[in-house]
């Protein structure tokens, strides 16, 4: 593989001065502040606030003089978000112990899996975990709800719990979720399930947030999970009646991606594109945290990346001459519902897919140590080698590029660049990684580091410029080729 030729010194100086002057901390801070303000109510897909955020981007892009690259000469590409929201009127979930009824609150205390509505009702049988349920359930399980502990969450054991319930002829399953599943996790699971994130289940199933599940066990005198070893045995919960019904509706909404183009300068290479992406949606409004805040602001996730890509666009628009290749700026919605907006774009690209040579995705770029940015996927393509080199060439950035800190989190499969990877396009994600406020109401602008986000934007600008200038497009490495083969074998998700 050839080393890319270093840019001449004066050109590098011009690029740096554009990066520094066009991309300012103040403007990045303003974008994050507005996009993650309470008025924007967490930019859910779909929501009026998502539309407002799209309008904000469009106004900025028009002012920068970039070309619209969405539908019909506009900056907007619409796609259909189909969801199956729970019908709150027709649905319920409660437990009655010695005649006292306690209703569980949807999205706060329980989530429902898509499947037959039920109702599932009766005196339940309890099993502390899926393995003990598989070993055998009493005859009373026939036609009754099965309450089963899931100490490892919705992992591989989950299927075993369903199988045990089916074999015993249970009428439904109540999953007692693990410690990780608090109110905000329950809210996000419910939203993901309404967005079509799971297959249809063969019988009615709900998941109880950890606290609600433990409270249920305590109130019927069963030692909660982890309370003793071995755990409480499989048993019929006498004097208890449990009932739940989950009716899902159907809804569809046309939601916006935002797309702009900077045409390249080279007559040949201008038909090729480097695509910069950031998702501008977040998860909306949900259960309040300890401070009573119910707006999941998504300042770092991903107002920061949205702002950074906008400022990269500003820098490109201020160059004395555009790079050889064209640049496409793409802000997608529906990321939090399962990378839906970017998947739609990859299926329905507004420029020829085969002309897209690289994708650079920015997701969560304003937190943690001020000097470190992670290049997720650096081992899979030659973009990795290039990002290290750009950072070395520009110590003024004040950034150290580091690899994926926790490969087991599978971040390379978890943001919008993956929609391009699935199409065989080399991609890299720049991120400053997860933090304690991830997907919580506390991911607010005051906890972001706009200075860092601005520096990541400058790095992205310099890197995108190189990708758009060097004659050879980036390539997959051997590890990348292997990943593509593995993905192919796995088949469509
Ligand atoms: Zn997120």
Residue 323 sits in a domain of what CATH number?
3.40.630.10
Same structural domain, 97 and 154: yes
Mean pLDDT of 323-336: 97
Residue 491's pLDDT is what? 64
pLDDT of 5 > 60? The answer is no
Is the pLDDT assigned to residue 85 strictly greater than 80?
Answer: yes
**Distance from the alpha carbon of residue 114 to the mean position of ligand 1, in angstroms:** 23
Q: How confident is the model at residue 126 (pLDDT cuts 50, 70, 90)?
A: very high
Taking the C-alpha atoms of residue 255 and residue 50, their distance in angstroms, rounded to an integer, is 8
Provide the number of structural domains found in the chain: 2
Provide the pLDDT confidence category of residue 195 given band limits of 50, 70 and 90. Answer: confident
Judge if 206 and 313 occupy the same domain. Answer: no
Q: What's residue 151's pLDDT?
A: 87
195 C-alpha to ligand 1 centroid (Å): 15
How many angstroms does the Cα of residue 313 sit away from the middle of ligand 1? 23
Nearest CA-CA partner of 386 in 326, 444, 472, 264: 472
Segment 344-389, tens digit of pLDDT: 999 999 999 999 999 999 999 999 999 999 999 999 999 999 999 9
Please report the pLDDT score of residue 433 as a whole number. Answer: 97
What is the per-residue pLDDT for 492? Answer: 54
72: CA distance to ligand 1 center in Å? 30
Tell me, yes or no, whether 276 lies in a domain: yes
Please give the model's pTM, rounded to 2 decimal places: 0.90
Residue 231: what pLDDT? 74
pLDDT at 228: 52
What pLDDT does 460 receive? 98
What's the CA-to-centroid distance between 440 and ligand 1, angstroms?
A: 10
Domain annotation covers residue 394: yes
pLDDT of residue 410: 86
Cα of 336 to ligand 1 centre, how many Å? 6
Residues 286, 407 within the same domain: yes
Ligand 1 center–CA 338 separation, angstroms:
10
156 CA distance to ligand 1 middle (Å):
24
**CA 345 to centroid of ligand 1, rounded, Å:** 19
At 417 the pLDDT is 97
Ligand 1 center from residue 164 Cα (angstroms): 34
Contacts of 364 (CB under 8 A, 6+ apart): 300, 301, 302, 304, 305, 431, 432, 433, 434, 438
- Of 87, 437, 453, the residue nearest 283 (C-alpha): 437
Structural domain contains residue 429:
yes
Q: Is residue 4 part of a domain?
A: no
pLDDT tens, residue by residue, 377-428: 999 999 999 999 999 999 999 999 999 999 888 889 989 999 999 999 999 9
Nearest to 186 by CA among 206, 216, 161: 206
Q: What are the residues whose beta carbons fall under 8 Å from the beta carbon of 249, sequence distance 6 or more?
A: 84, 85, 86, 87
Q: Give distance in angstroms: CA of 54 to centre of ligand 1.
A: 18
Which of 245, 266, 287 is the C-terminal boundary of a domain?
A: 245
- 282 CA to middle of ligand 1, Å? 6
Share of the chain above pLDDT 70, in %: 96
Measured in Å, residue 207 CA sits from the centre of ligand 1 at: 22
Residues 304 and 381 in one domain: yes
CA pair distance 284, 86, nearest whole angstrom: 17
Same domain for 287 and 395?
yes
Confirm whether 3 is domain-assigned.
no
Residues 262 and 347 in one domain: yes
User: pLDDT tens digits for 262-294?
Assistant: 999 999 999 999 999 999 999 999 999 989 999
Pair 115, 182 in one domain: yes
Residue range(s) defining the domain that contains residue 111: 92-245
Domain identity same for 424 and 289: yes
Same domain for 58 and 123? no
Cis omega (within 30 of 0) for bond into 46? yes
Q: What is the CATH number of the domain that holds 132?
A: 3.50.30.30
Q: Which of 245, 279, 312 finishes a domain?
A: 245
Gap from CA of 192 to ligand 1 centroid (Å): 12
Residue 213 included in any domain: yes
Is residue 225 pLDDT above 90, yes or no?
A: no
The yes-or-no verdict on residue 193 having pLDDT over 80 is yes
In a domain, 1, yes or no: no
* Distance of CA 73 from the midpoint of ligand 1 (Å): 30
- Give the Å distance between the CA of 302 and the centre of ligand 1: 7
Radius of gyration of the chain (CA): 25
How many A from CA of 100 to the centre of ligand 1? 39
pLDDT in tens, 427-471: 999 999 999 999 999 999 999 999 999 999 999 999 999 999 999
Predicted local distance difference test score (pLDDT) of residue 156: 83
337 Cα to the center of ligand 1, angstroms: 9
- Least confident stretch, 74-78, 82-86, 324-328: 82-86
Q: How far is the CA of 335 from the centre of ligand 1 (A)?
A: 7
Based on the fold, state whether residues 294 and 231 are members of the same structural domain.
no
The residue among 201, 221, 245 that closes a domain is 245
**Rounded distance from Cα 44 to ligand 1 centre (Å):** 11
Quick one: 374 and 455 in the same domain? yes
Co-location of 180 and 37 in the same domain: no
């Amino acid at each position: 593989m050839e080393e890319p030729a270093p840019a001449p010194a004066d050109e590098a100086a011009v690029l740096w001065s554009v990066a520094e002057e066009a991309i300012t901390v103040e403007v990045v801070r303003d974008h994050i502040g507005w996009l993650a303000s309470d008025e924007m109510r967490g930019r859910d897909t779909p929501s009026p606030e998502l539309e407002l955020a799209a309008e904000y981007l469009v106004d900025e892009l028009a002012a920068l003089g970039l070309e619209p690259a969405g539908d019909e000469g506009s900056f907007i590409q619409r796609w259909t978000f189909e969801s199956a929201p729970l019908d709150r009127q027709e649905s319920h979930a409660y437990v009655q112990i010695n005649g006292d009824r306690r209703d569980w609150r949807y999205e706060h205390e329980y989530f429902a899996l898509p499947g037959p509505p039920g109702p599932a009702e009766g005196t339940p049988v309890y099993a502390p975990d899926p393995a003990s349920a598989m070993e055998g359930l009493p005859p009373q399980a026939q036609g009754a709800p099965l309450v089963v502990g899931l100490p490892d969450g919705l992992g591989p054991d989950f299927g075993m719990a369903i199988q045990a319930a089916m074999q015993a002829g249970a009428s439904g399953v109540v999953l007692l979720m693990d410690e990780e599943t608090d109110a905000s996790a329950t809210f996000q699971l419910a939203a993901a399930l309404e967005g079509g994130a799971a297959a249809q289940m063969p019988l009615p199933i709900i998941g109880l947030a950890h606290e609600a599940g433990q409270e249920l066990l305590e109130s019927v005198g069963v030692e909660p999970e982890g309370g003793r070893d071995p755990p409480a045995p499989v048993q019929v919960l006498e004097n208890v009646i449990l009932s739940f019904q989950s009716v899902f509706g159907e809804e569809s909404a046309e939601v916006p991606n935002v797309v702009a183009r900077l045409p390249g300068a080279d007559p040949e290479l201008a038909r090729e594109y480097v695509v910069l992406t950031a998702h501008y949606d977040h998860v909306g409004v949900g259960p309040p945290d300890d401070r009573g805040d119910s707006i999941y602001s998504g300042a770092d996730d991903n107002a920061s990346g949205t702002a950074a890509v906008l400022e990269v666009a500003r820098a490109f628009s201020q160059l004395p001459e555009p790079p050889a290749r064209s640049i496409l700026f793409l802000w997608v919605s529906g990321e939090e519902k399962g990378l839906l907006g970017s998947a739609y774009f990859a299926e329905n690209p507004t420029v020829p897919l085969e002309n897209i040579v690289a994708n650079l995705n920015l997701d969560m770029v304003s937190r943690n140590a001020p000097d470190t940015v992670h290049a997720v996927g650096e081992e899979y393509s030659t973009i990795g080698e290039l990002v290290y080199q750009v950072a070395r060439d520009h110590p003024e950035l004040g950034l150290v590029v580091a690899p994926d800190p926790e490969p087991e989190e599978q971040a390379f499969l978890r943001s919008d660049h993956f929609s391009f990877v699935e199409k065989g396009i080399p991609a890299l994600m720049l991120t400053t990684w997860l933090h304690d406020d991830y997907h919580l109401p506390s991911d607010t602008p005051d906890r972001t580091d706009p200075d860092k986000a601005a520096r990541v934007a400058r790095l992205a600008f310099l890197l995108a410029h190189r990708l758009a200038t060097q004659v050879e497009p980036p390539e997959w490495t051997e590890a990348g080729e292997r990943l593509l083969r593995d993905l192919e074998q796995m088949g469509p998700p």
